Amino acid sequence: MKRYPILRRLLCINLSVVMLFSTQVAVYAEESGGGSIRQETISNTEEGNTEDSSTKESSKKESNTKESNTKQSNTNSEDISTNLSNTQINSEEVSSKKENSKTDNNRKDSKTDEELQENADSEEASEEKKKSEDETFNIKKGDFYISAFVPAGTFDVDVEFKADQVKLTSSEKELVSQTVDADEMEDYYAFDLRFEADGEEIEPREGSSVKVSIESSLIETDAVVHIKDDETAETIESKISGEKVTFDADSFSTYVLTATNEINPSKKVLYDNEIYGSLKVNHEYNHTSPYKGENFFNKGRVALKVFQQNNFTRDKEMKLQYAPYELAPTDNGNFLIYGYKNDIQNFTFTFAAPENYYVAKVSLYEYRSEDYYNTKPIAEVPIYGYQTECTIPLTLRQMTEKDKEVANAVVVELEPKLAKLTGEKKYVEHAQLVNYVNGRQKNIKADRATPTNDIFGEYFRFGDGQQGLISNHCQDGQVYQGLAVDDITSGVFKLSNDNGNEIFPNYTKYSNWWWKEFVYKKYITEYYNDAKVRFDKDEDGYWTIDSSQYKYYYNANNNQVDIKKGKEFRPFIMSDSDINKLGEKVEDNDKYLDNHFGMILPISFTVTEDGKTVADNGEEKDTIFKFFGDDDVFVYVDGKLVLDLGGVHNAVLGQINFNTGEILIQGNLRNQLTSSRNDTCYTRKDDGGKAKSIGVKNLYTTDGQQGIFSYSNVREFSQKEHVLTVVYFERGAHNSNCKISYNFNKTETRTVDFKGLKVDENKKGLANAQFTLYTDESCAEDKIAIMGIGVPAKATSDEDGTIEFTSLSAGVIEKGQQSVTKSFYMKETAAPDGYVLAENAIWKLELTAYADGSKTQKLIAVNDAARALSIGDSSNVKAIKNNPIRFAKKLTVSKTVTYGSDKQQDDDAQYVFEIWEAVDGAFSRMANKPFKIGDKETKTNEYGQFVLKAGEVAVFENLMETQYEIVETYVLSNKGYKLENYDTKITVDSDDSKAITYRNDDIANRYVLIDFESIGENNVKSVASEKAAEFENNLVKIYDWQLMKISKTSQLPLAGAEFTLASTKKGSTDKYYGKSDANGVVLWYKSVSDRDNNNNPIEVSVGSYTLSETKAPGGYSKSEDVWQITIDREQGVQAYIKTQGDLKEKTVVEEQTLSNGGVLKTVKLSFENEVAYTLPATGGSGIHLYTIGGVLLLLLASLLLYKDKKKYI
């Protein structure tokens, strides 16, 4: 047999086939004997798996043996195998390698064992010799040449050197910067250096190191840093010579060549700060020295000092009163000294002005003494075009033997930017202009030495000539904060030291003759309300008032502030007595010189989410508001003080940047620029402290820093409209400078007033009802509209029932449009005593402003609750009524449910109701109606719906004395129950005699009518204050289902069958995994692991599914049928394969009466399995075919053997 391995293996295969089918016969015989197959019986599939595992292991062993030594192929062929495929592989190898085996054996046998050992020893000796020699590796990476010198014995094996240039992460950059102790790296070159052996990284022996050199013309480095694998770093001692860096490395990962910034600024930058801008020159200075000091003179040197000047006030001798302010150097009057070299006297100065300034002129003086500025300059260079950055060449004086004291003073003039107006204009509405009495005129609480009007207290005087901090006079370019209140959301501007005298009285009150003559006349001479103020657009896209270019005056003919030729903001004409004192004829234009006045100007606006404004030229800029002028200016946003420029002072600049939230104050104090960025803009109080109140808090609250508003950024701020209110005073009887600029995306220049009427149930005026306007229908607290100067839009009805909102923004009438309309939403937010609050009613207020100045308004009832309280057409409401509390009623709706058994319990089911109210004889849904479930307050939805669970009670209060309808519409059930599964009994006020019952087969909704009014005996009418409705559901109609696994032949239950139930719903991936138990009942699980571990069987949800068998019980064939199953708790379970009814014979319905009278119908479906084959005795073919197949295989093997033998004879 050893000579015929193929024949042996074929015989073994046939033996295996016979044994396989004998097992199937035993299984069938046991079942035929009347016994059911136990779960413990090993299935055919399991036997197959065991055999496959054994065969694979045998195959693996043969393959390994075959690859290791071809000479053993004959021995392998003799091994017994039970795997046909292995037999074929081995036989092919014997055949294919026969020709080569002899030659191979001869080649291998040609060398003796001694020769082979000698060769191995020779190779090992060569390898040892190679390791004992030094090696140098060279790699080129881009522009870098990297070399590694490896001393002998550094590595135990052959290695390869590899290098890659890499980029550092942000954390690695920070780590390197910290290691070299630099502010930041200016540049770096990073390399991943490594040695590899057989593809694996390897480190040098302990105590060994490799010398690495990196060379390139690009290298500009000052340190080498090694980033270790443990994420630490260290500076490596290195040699940096020209274009080459060399260092020793005892371990390998990332090495970084660094170039760091200098900690000290370049000596070409003479100054660089937020207050004065910056100055760069083309030469580096050597040192600094006092004028004519020890290190001052040397032949050819240049001495330089830089100053700032913009105050040119002169004394009686026409000399400048204030010296220019020293900018560079700033070390106690020293000069910058530049050493001799060619062309040292030729300087190029590059100036950059600070924010809101431009470079007006640059002058060069010869410095001989501290009052150099009163001499004629050597050179003057005026800068045209309001340049914020410019480069100026100047030739400076050099020291000589004859002139050792010569020095240079460069003076730069920084001026506030001017506006170039385009002629495009518009008017901002609702300004209030008040002219106050001068103390010199009326001598109010003043003596002749200090004539002032201190009607508002000694800290806020109107007068001329008074000095001192007691009346908050400030140093030039400084402000006195804290004079005004921080909040004007009440609608009234007040001083922080308010003494009761109104600065801007209510105009209606002021217009009353008695108040005007006996109260306000003491300190107010003129008052103009609801005036318009002209703004012109400049080239930068800002809407601007600029009193440096025009005189602004009040034009009584059209109640607006217009412009004339001249300068200053002077809306009021001087009194006749003051004009007469001038002695000469005064031109009409010059009569507008009154010194003491105030203005309130509200500007409604919006900003974009990014805080940017696009100018007409397409340039995108930050959205900004600016004021430049004197005296007091207080700027409020939505009633909150944002910019405080209080005090009597000369012109100062205040700025609000709505993009960044930054608030900035700038000024000029005797040639020194002042700024809120270094606190130099705040004057000193009497006690020596700074007159600083709010300072310049950011608009937004960010990074834990509390801002003026709770908004964290401009995006949040941009979500609604805002009002910016400018409060401006001229008090000091001097210049009246006023420049207001803004580039808001939208300014609301059209406003409308609204008057409505509130009445009681008898349509008489009703006082003390409060209404609030909102910007959208949600009527949320953060959506309250604003009016006037930032006052929340809330109004309370007066004794006549009048509701009045004033100065509501209607919007901007764009070019080419004739009107603009804006909508607000109104709710009653407080009801008068004794009346019900209409908290669910919402009205829409539409305001329209037209180009010709006319305005319209319309009030519309939005919802049913509003329509029920509206008088007139709901699309044009004329009045709104309230109902007395005596009408308020209470209604409770309760829910109870009974089940026939615990299995049917559905505790999480939600029962959906609707509540309708009769209004003027018609029922309407009670949308958004508040109610309570226990202590929880909630509302019905927009359809008047609410939800109850079993055992819950809904309580509705403050209902009208009318009829209500409660409707149960449907059920939300995880078990799939519908309203049609229940009988419903509805009882009102526990009166069973009038209970209504709906049967489960009723299609209509289940409802009850609630009437608080009833007619008793003798037609006596009575009104109940409370009503109660109870809805009791009884689950009486239930369908369930069950899948049984049975044998087709014996009809006995089968265990171990596995199924998958997959949802057919579009887009659904729901699946259930089933397995039959010992009784054949299929239990369902949510996952395969739950099924395999018999963990948490669950119910299948209602729906449509496909059912398929995934594993048959042992000894049975898996069914290929796919069932279509629909599970419905109301209609039952339906199943079919191809057509409805084709599984009728496998379907049985069992009925069970439950304790509550309900009927449970269970649909049982039988899923049958066939055994794997049948015996001849039962009409099957048996094993005859397999026997014939085996005989044929034997004949084929004999033929192959014969041919093979003949070939080698």
Task: Indicate which CATH number applies to the domain containing 145.
Answer: 2.60.220
The count of other CB atoms within 10 Å of the CB of residue 23 is 14
Beta-carbon contacts of 49 under 8 Å, excluding residues fewer than 6 positions away, are none
CATH number for the domain spanning 862: value is 2.60.40.10
Closest by alpha carbon to 913, among 941, 934, 932, 951?
Answer: 941
State the pLDDT at residue 774. 94
The count of other CB atoms within 10 Å of the CB of residue 342 is 7
| Highest mean pLDDT (candidates 251-255, 407-411, 834-838) | 407-411
> Is the separation of the CB atoms in 407 and 348 below 8 Å?
no
Query: Which of the four pLDDT bands, split at 50, 70 and 90, describes residue 997?
Result: confident
Domain boundary among 208, 231, 260: 260
Closest by alpha carbon to 1099, among 1120, 1130, 1129, 1068?
Answer: 1129
Return d(Cα 638, Cα 659) in angstroms, integer: 17
Structural domain for 95, as ranges: 5-109
Among 43-57, 268-282, 773-787, the minimum mean pLDDT is found in 43-57
Closest by alpha carbon to 607, among 716, 489, 741?
Answer: 716
In this predicted structure, the answer to whether residue 349 has a pLDDT above a threshold of 60 is yes
Of residues 443 and 588, which shows the higher confidence score?
A: 588
The CA distances from residue 804 to 602, 757, 761, 798, 820, in Å, are 19, 9, 21, 9, 21
Could you say which DSSP state residue 883 is in? -
841 and 900 in a single domain? The answer is no
The one-letter amino acid code at 1030 reads E
Give backbone dihedrals phi and psi of 19, rounded to 5 degrees, phi first: -65, -35
Chain length of the chain: 1209
1100 and 1160 in a single domain? The answer is yes
Q: What is the pLDDT of residues 70-104, one digit of tens each?
A: 333 333 333 333 333 333 333 333 333 333 433 34
Of residues 909 and 314, which shows the higher confidence score?
A: 909
State the pLDDT at residue 679. 92
State the pLDDT at residue 103. 39
The one-letter amino acid code at 1196 reads L
Tell me whether residue 455 is in a domain. yes
The distance of Cα 633 from the centroid of its chain, to the nearest Å, equals 36
Q: What is the pLDDT of residues 705-762, one digit of tens each?
A: 899 999 999 999 988 889 999 999 998 767 788 999 999 977 655 667 777 777 776 6
| pLDDT mean over 584-598 | 69
461 and 591 in a single domain? The answer is yes
Closest by alpha carbon to 151, among 136, 134, 138?
Answer: 134
Query: Which of the four pLDDT bands, split at 50, 70 and 90, describes residue 580?
Result: low
50 and 175 in a single domain? The answer is no
Q: Which two tokens stand for residue 457?
A: 């207290």
Q: Which two tokens stand for residue 962?
A: 């009318």
Among 294-308, 953-967, 1118-1132, the minimum mean pLDDT is found in 1118-1132
* Helices H / strands E in the chain, number of each: 15, 76
Query: Which of the four pLDDT bands, split at 50, 70 and 90, describes residue 390?
Result: very high
Cis preceding-peptide flag for 631 (omega within 30 of 0): yes
CATH number for the domain spanning 993: value is 2.60.40.1140
Tell me whether residue 669 is in a domain. yes
| pLDDT mean over 272-285 | 93
Tell me whether residue 33 is in a domain. yes
Q: Where are the alpha helices (DSSP H) in 512-665?
A: 513-518, 576-581
| pLDDT mean over 167-190 | 78
Among 464-478, 619-633, 663-677, 1095-1109, the minimum mean pLDDT is found in 464-478
Query: Which of the four pLDDT bands, split at 50, 70 and 90, describes residue 131?
Result: low
Return d(Cα 204, Cα 796) in angstroms, integer: 88
Among 243-257, 336-350, 567-581, 846-860, the minimum mean pLDDT is found in 567-581
In this predicted structure, the answer to whether residue 648 has a pLDDT above a threshold of 50 is yes
State the pLDDT at residue 589. 52
509 and 579 in a single domain? The answer is yes
Exposure on the CB side of residue 46, measured as CA atoms within 13 A:
12
Q: Which two tokens stand for residue 583?
A: 């002695």
Q: What is the pLDDT of residues 869-893, one digit of tens each?
A: 888 888 888 888 887 766 678 999 9
Q: Which two tokens stand for residue 1015?
A: 């007619």
Sequence-separated contacts (24+) of 180-185 with Cβ below 8 Å: 180/222, 180/223, 180/225, 180/235, 180/258, 180/260, 182/258, 182/260, 182/261, 182/263, 183/260, 183/261, 183/263, 184/260, 184/261, 185/258, 185/259, 185/260, 185/261
Tell me if residue 861 falls in helix, strand or coil. Answer: strand
1071 and 1139 in a single domain? The answer is yes
Of residues 900 and 308, which shows the higher confidence score?
A: 308
Domain boundary among 832, 848, 881: 881
Return d(Cα 405, Cα 392) in angstroms, integer: 25
State the pLDDT at residue 748. 58
The CA distances from residue 1022 to 529, 891, 961, in Å, are 58, 16, 11
1076 and 1158 in a single domain? The answer is yes
> Is the separation of the CB atoms in 352 and 277 below 8 Å?
yes
State the pLDDT at residue 678. 92
647 and 612 in a single domain? The answer is yes
| pLDDT mean over 1168-1173 | 74
In this predicted structure, the answer to whether residue 675 has a pLDDT above a threshold of 80 is yes
Among 432-446, 641-655, 1141-1155, the minimum mean pLDDT is found in 432-446
The count of other CB atoms within 10 Å of the CB of residue 157 is 10
Sign, CA dihedral 192-197-201-204, equals: negative
Return d(Cα 580, Cα 1143) in angstroms, integer: 118
788 and 913 in a single domain? The answer is no
Tell me whether residue 157 is in a domain. yes
Tell me whether residue 1198 is in a domain. no
Tell me whether residue 1179 is in a domain. no
Return d(Cα 550, Cα 568) in angstroms, integer: 7
Q: Which two tokens stand for residue 317?
A: 């001798």
Q: Which two tokens stand for residue 558?
A: 């059209």
Give the chain's domain count. 7
3-class SS letters over 890-909? EEEEEEEEECCCHHHCCCCC
Q: What is the mean pLDDT of the chain?
A: 81
| pLDDT mean over 1175-1195 | 57
Of residues 905 and 679, which shows the higher confidence score?
A: 679
Among 105-119, 734-748, 792-806, the minimum mean pLDDT is found in 105-119
Closest by alpha carbon to 801, among 841, 770, 773?
Answer: 770
For the chain, percent of residues with pLDDT exceeding 90: 41
Return d(Cα 408, Cα 340) in angstroms, integer: 15
Return d(Cα 510, Cα 1145) in angstroms, integer: 99
Among 253-257, 304-308, 351-355, 1035-1039, the minimum mean pLDDT is found in 1035-1039
104 and 213 in a single domain? The answer is no
State the pLDDT at residue 100. 40
Element (H, E) at 139: strand 135-141
> Is the separation of the CB atoms in 703 and 712 below 8 Å?
no
Return d(Cα 430, Cα 447) in angstroms, integer: 37
Tell me whether residue 121 is in a domain. no
Query: Which of the four pLDDT bands, split at 50, 70 and 90, describes residue 685?
Result: confident
Return d(Cα 294, Cα 892) in angstroms, integer: 101
> Is the separation of the CB atoms in 919 and 864 below 8 Å?
yes
Closest by alpha carbon to 728, among 596, 634, 647?
Answer: 634
Sign, CA dihedral 781-786-789-795, equals: negative
The one-letter amino acid code at 423 reads G
Query: Which of the four pLDDT bands, split at 50, 70 and 90, describes residue 1019?
Result: low
State the pLDDT at residue 264. 44
Tell me whether residue 529 is in a domain. yes
Torsion of CA 252, 254, 258, 260, to 10 degrees: -130
> Is the separation of the CB atoms in 97 and 90 below 8 Å?
no
In this predicted structure, the answer to whether residue 67 has a pLDDT above a threshold of 70 is no
In this predicted structure, the answer to whether residue 1109 has a pLDDT above a threshold of 70 is yes
| Highest mean pLDDT (candidates 298-302, 905-909, 963-967) | 963-967
In this predicted structure, the answer to whether residue 68 has a pLDDT above a threshold of 60 is no
Q: Which residue has the tokens 């006079």?
A: 473
Domain boundary among 75, 109, 143: 109
> Is the separation of the CB atoms in 892 and 1012 below 8 Å?
no
The count of other CB atoms within 10 Å of the CB of residue 784 is 16
Cis preceding-peptide flag for 377 (omega within 30 of 0): no
Among 5-9, 355-359, 800-804, the minimum mean pLDDT is found in 5-9
Among 139-148, 887-896, 1162-1171, the minimum mean pLDDT is found in 1162-1171
Is pTM beyond 0.75? Reply is no
State the pLDDT at residue 43. 36
214 and 233 in a single domain? The answer is yes
Burial of 1018 (0-12, 13-18, 19+ CB in 10 A): exposed
772 and 799 in a single domain? The answer is yes
